[in-house]
Structure 1
Amino acid sequence: MSTRRQFLKSLGTTFALGCLSSELQATILRHPSIKAIEGSWFEFQHHSLIEGKYWNPALAAFTAEQWDKKIKEIADTGIRYLVLLNTAIRDKTFYPSKLLPKHQLECEDPLETVLSAADKYNIKFFVSNGFYGDWTKSAFLMQDKQVEKLRLQAMNEIAEKYSHHKSFYGWYYPNETGIRGHYDDFFINYVNVSSQEAVKLIPHAKTLIAPYGTRNVTPDEKYVRQLEQLNVDYIAYQDEIGVEKTNVEESAAFFENLHNLHKKAARSKLWADVEVFKFEGKVYQSALLPAPAKRVIEQVKAISPYVEKIFIYQYIGLMNKAESPVFAGVPESVSLYEGLMKNHFLKK
């Protein structure tokens, strides 16, 4: 019996929310392979207007004081890393820029505000270097030289304005690649060009990517070589449960393969991007809603033995503390928050 099967057998495959015995709770707490959620993606506005319809209006109206409270609310869960999805979208930035016009939000400089709050509450931010150009055309954005020039200029501008913050931990490259057995060569180039600029600007900064197509990885020597070529510190693969490409029962095997591949390559650390959402209707064509906490717990349990850290997509819009003064999302977001806190998948 494989290690994975022994692990799942020892825990049981499912358990009911709110009905966990003290014995099972203790098993979860003391089992070294089950990890707490340490990080989350973060945004000022969701890139897809359809998907973000239940929280985009609230975020647009947040004042600087409210953003500070939201960062504190997140920090109070034990989350210590936030990944800013984008610093620009639809040809406007989320900070005062000389390169593009700025989104007109209630908060004058959201990026300054959240980094200042993160300084206070001990949060580490990965700051995005996108989306400069049409976010729906990721392959084009990664290959077009004019877009590349704008992206690198934005990195320079952002570093000049904000790298003094202790919370500016690293960079996130948001243009995603869909793995089809292996990485596209242009994706490797996009990552490496970005990292080359990143190290010039902030030598100590870490770097992160989050590819999809996790189930399609071909576990061979070519993939290992590509991992060796990728100049990036952390790769947080999407588990693709929320987008309905994979089910929980399959995901452990995919991450077990990735664990073995990353061990051979001995370069970037293997993290996970756990999708804590479901769609209100058709996938990619309807609003995002919080997934049941029971499903998310099973997602985390399945892949924990194989990854260094668990991140989620995402706290903003999909999770809220009850009676939060900075509520953004649907009422069901409280259930997800409480389910993960109660069962120690978030912890102080």
Structure 2
Amino acid sequence: MKRRNFLHLAGASAALAFFHGHASAAPIGNNRKAHAITGTWFEFQHHSEVEGTYWNPALAAFTADDWEAKVAEIAGTGIRYLVLLDVAIYGKSFYPSALLPQHALTDNDPLETVLSAADKHHLRVFMSNGFFGDWRNPALLMQDKDVHQLRVRAMEELTEKYGHHPSFYGWYYPNETGINGHFDDNFIQYVNKCAREARRLTPRAKTLIAPYGTRNVAADDGYVAQLDRLDVDFIAYQDEIGVQKTRVDESNAIFEKLQRLHRKSGRNELWADVEVFAFEGEVYRSALVPAAPERVLAQLEALAELVEQVFIYQYTGMINRPGSSVTIGYRGQHDLYTALTEAGWLKRR
């Protein structure tokens, strides 16, 4: 599954100095192996209407109070990082923007709401810088000069509007092309162009990508050289279990290979993006539902000794605390919460 420069207010400088100091801190759990879920993606609307069947309407109706309650719920599990998948899609933004019209959501500025709640609960948010243009054509989005300029202007606008939040920890670059032995060179250029803008606007912010094609990584010096070239702090590889490209029993060997390559490079920290969803029917053409708890637990155990951080795609829509006032998604999400808390991957509040 595919998941995606702002600074001129004179009054923002002091707040951004605080943000920069916050972002420069070492990542939680740095230099140890992961034995807990520490991060999750979230979104205001899923890009595929059919995949988001069971949560898109609920998210569109979320009030500010609902978002605050959901962020508090997530923080209560011990998760410390939130990754916003996208700030815009289909030519509309999810926040008040001078660049694009806005999606009609109950909360007029859910991004402000989430960041404020994240400030309160000491969470760290990776801000998306996409999707500007047709997300189904990532090669175009990475190479088109007009799209890049719009992306840069959006990064500037997002920093101006939200850079004062201490929870604004870094950037997530959501455009992707699959790994086919090695990264496509256009992907590396895209990441590095984004990184230049991120450093210009938020010099100490951390950066994250989450590539797919994980099983296809070539265990050679050419791949190590590409890691050396990629100007990004964290690479959270999709385990691709949910999209049925990889079996659970293959995952450990794949991430062992990645661990060896990342150790040889030393440039980017190795994280995991664990897919906790399944498809209700045909892959990519049916609704996403929570995966069987035993499958998810096996996915997590396969990676625990190999990566620095375990992120999931995604809490919203797949996991809900029993009794939550903001339960969304398909039946089974309480079962996954219970299994993960009982196994110690999430804290029980």
* Cα offset, 1:151, TM superposition: 0.6
> Does the 8 Å CA contact 1:280/1:286 hold for their aligned counterparts?
yes
Describe the superposition over 1:89-128 as per-residue Cα deviations: whole angstroms up to 9, x where unpaired: 1110011101000111000101000000000011100010
Query: Where does structure 1 differ by over 2 angstroms across 4 or more consecutive aligned residues?
Result: none
TM-score, with structure 1 as normaliser = 0.90
Tell me which residue corresponds to 2:337: 337
Deviations for 1:190-224, whole angstroms, at most 9, x for unmatched residues?
Answer: 00000100011111100000000000000101100
**What is the correspondence of 1:6-85 to structure 2 with a 5 Å cutoff?**
35-85=35-85
**Residue 204 in structure 1 maps to residue 200 in structure 2:** no
Whole-Å Cα distance in 2 between the matches of residues 336 and 41 of structure 1? 16
Residues of 2 paired with 1:333 and 1:142: CA distance?
A: 35
1:325 matched residue in structure 2? 325
8 Å contact from structure 1 (residues 86, 131) kept in 2 = yes
SS at match of 1:83: strand
Aligned to 1:146: 146
Rounded Cα–Cα distance in structure 2 between residues aligned with 1:286 and 1:169: 34
Match of 2:178 in 1: 178
User: Secondary structure at 2:39's aligned position in 1?
Assistant: strand
Equivalent residue, structure 2, for 1:101: 101
Secondary structure in structure 1 of the residue aligned to 2:244: coil
Q: Which has the higher contact order (CA 8 A, sep 6+)?
A: 2
Residue 192 of structure 1 corresponds to 192
Whichever residue aligns with residue 122 of structure 1, its letter is H
CA deviation profile, 1:218-270 (whole Å, cap 9, x unmatched)? 01011000000000000000000000000111011110010010111110100
Kept after mapping to 2: 8 A contact 1:195/1:231: yes
SS at match of 2:304: helix
SS in 2 for 1:207: strand
Q: Distance in 1 between matches of 2:185 and 2:221?
A: 16
Q: Structure 2: how far apart are the matches of 1:328 and 1:151?
A: 31
1:254-333 aligned within 5 A: 254-333=254-333
1:249 matched residue in structure 2? 249
CA contact under 8 A between 1:281 and 1:287: conserved in structure 2? yes
State the match for 2:6 in structure 1: none
Counterparts of 1:256 and 1:293, CA distance in 2: 24
3-state SS, counterpart of residue 199 of structure 2: helix
**Retained in 2: the 8 A contact 1:34–1:301?**
no
Letter matched to residue 109 of structure 1: D
Amino acid at match of 2:103: H
The corresponding residue for 2:12 is none
Query: How far does residue 34 in structure 1 lie from its aligned partner after superposition?
Result: 5.7
Structure 1 pair 205/33, CA: closer, same or farther in 2 (3 Å)?
Answer: closer
The answer for the alignment partner of 1:134 in structure 2 is 134
Q: Which secondary structure does the structure 2 equivalent of 1:306 belong to?
A: coil
What TM-score does the superposition give when structure 2 sets the normalisation length? 0.90
In the alignment, which residue of structure 2 is the partner of 1:230? 230
| Shift of residue 343, structure 1, vs aligned partner | 1.1
Partner Cα distance (2:66, 2:58) in 1 = 10
Deviation at 1:313, TM superposition (A): 0.4
RMSD: 0.9
CA distance in 2, matches of 1:100, 1:225: 38
Q: Is the 8 A contact 2:280 2:286 kept in 1?
A: yes
Partner of 1:22: none
- Residue 33 of structure 1 and its aligned partner are, at CA, apart by 5.4
1:125 corresponds in structure 2 to 125
Question: Residue 4 of structure 2 aligns with which residue?
Answer: none
Structure 2 unmatched runs, 5+ = 1-31
For the Cα contact (< 8 Å) 1:73–1:321, is it kept in 2?
yes
Q: Using the alignment, how far apart are the partners of 1:73 and 1:306 within structure 2?
A: 28
Structure 2 CA distance for aligned equivalents of residues 132 and 309 of structure 1: 28
Runs of 5+ consecutive residues of structure 1 not aligned to the other structure: 1-31
Superposed displacement of residue 314, structure 1 = 0.3
CA contact (8 A) 1:39 1:80 kept: yes
Task: Give, in whole Å, the separation in 1 of the partners of 2:294 and 2:39.
Answer: 19
Deviation at 1:304, TM superposition (A): 1.4
Paired with 2:254 and 2:139, the residues of 1 have a C-alpha distance of 24
